């Protein structure tokens, strides 16, 4: 098993310091609150990357984007891309889902619908909500970010400086 990487706080602070202290504190209310906030989503993704499990949030985000697809031609191509990247056995970024869910998707991927990944997305969401999200809230990264903002150090990071 790979060991989680501890990312330097300054690296994380530079990227997620755009949210207000209130917004940053609100991330702890629920995984939905975290995922609905652009900076919260980015911070959580970086945390998952440090734990070698960013494929979960990337799959969840790909599904959210997929469900907004209007064109039937794009539904097929996007579904195939998600399947190839995350679902198929030995996919490059294979997510951890049960055989039955994976098999059901595999059998129906030739005629995908906007709901074809719903079961897998629910499983990954549940995994993140019950496992990754609590660890994120206990992480030094999140604690330091909250403390830094609460202590009034509110410098804004600008990517072009």
Task: Note the pLDDT tens digit of each residue in 73-132.
Answer: 899 999 999 999 999 999 999 999 999 999 999 999 999 999 999 999 999 999 999 999
pLDDT > 90: percent of the chain: 69
Classify residue 21 as exposed, middle or buried by CB count within 10 Å of its CB (0-12, 13-18, 19+).
Answer: middle
Read off the pLDDT band of 157 (50, 70, 90).
very low
Q: Does residue 6 surpass a pLDDT of 70?
A: no
DSSP states of 68-123 = T---HHHHHHHHHHHIIIIISTT-TT-----HHHHHHHHHHTTS--TTTTHHHHHH
Write out the two tokens for 155.
Answer: 């410098």
CA atoms of 68 and 79, how far apart (whole Å): 12
Q: How far is CA 61 from CA 36, 107, 112, 113, 149, in A?
A: 11, 23, 18, 17, 28
Cβ-contact 78, 69 below 8 angstroms:
yes
Over the range 47-85, which residues count as b (16 or more CB within 10 Å of their CB) and which as e?
A: bbbbbebbbbbbbbebbeebeebeeeeebeebbeebbeb
Query: pLDDT tens digits, residue range 21-79?
Result: 888 899 999 999 999 999 999 999 999 999 999 999 999 999 999 999 999 889 999 99
């Amino acid at each position: 098993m790979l060991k989680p990487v501890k990312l330097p706080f300054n690296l994380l602070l530079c990227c997620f310091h755009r949210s207000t202290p209130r917004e940053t504190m609100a991330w702890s209310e629920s995984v939905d609150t975290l995922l609905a906030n652009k900076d919260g989503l980015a911070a959580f993704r970086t945390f998952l990357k440090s734990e070698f499990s960013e494929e979960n949030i990337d799959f969840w985000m790909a599904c959210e984007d997929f469900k907004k697809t209007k064109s039937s031609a794009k539904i097929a191509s996007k579904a195939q891309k998600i399947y190839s990247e995350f679902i198929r056995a030995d996919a490059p970024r294979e997510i951890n889902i049960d055989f039955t869910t994976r098999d059901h998707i595999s059998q129906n991927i030739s005629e995908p619908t906007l709901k074809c990944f719903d079961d897998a997305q629910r499983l990954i969401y549940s995994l993140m909500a019950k496992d990754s999200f609590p660890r994120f809230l206990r992480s030094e990264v999140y604690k330091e970010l909250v403390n830094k903002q609460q202590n009034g150090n509110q410098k804004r990071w600008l990517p072009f400086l």
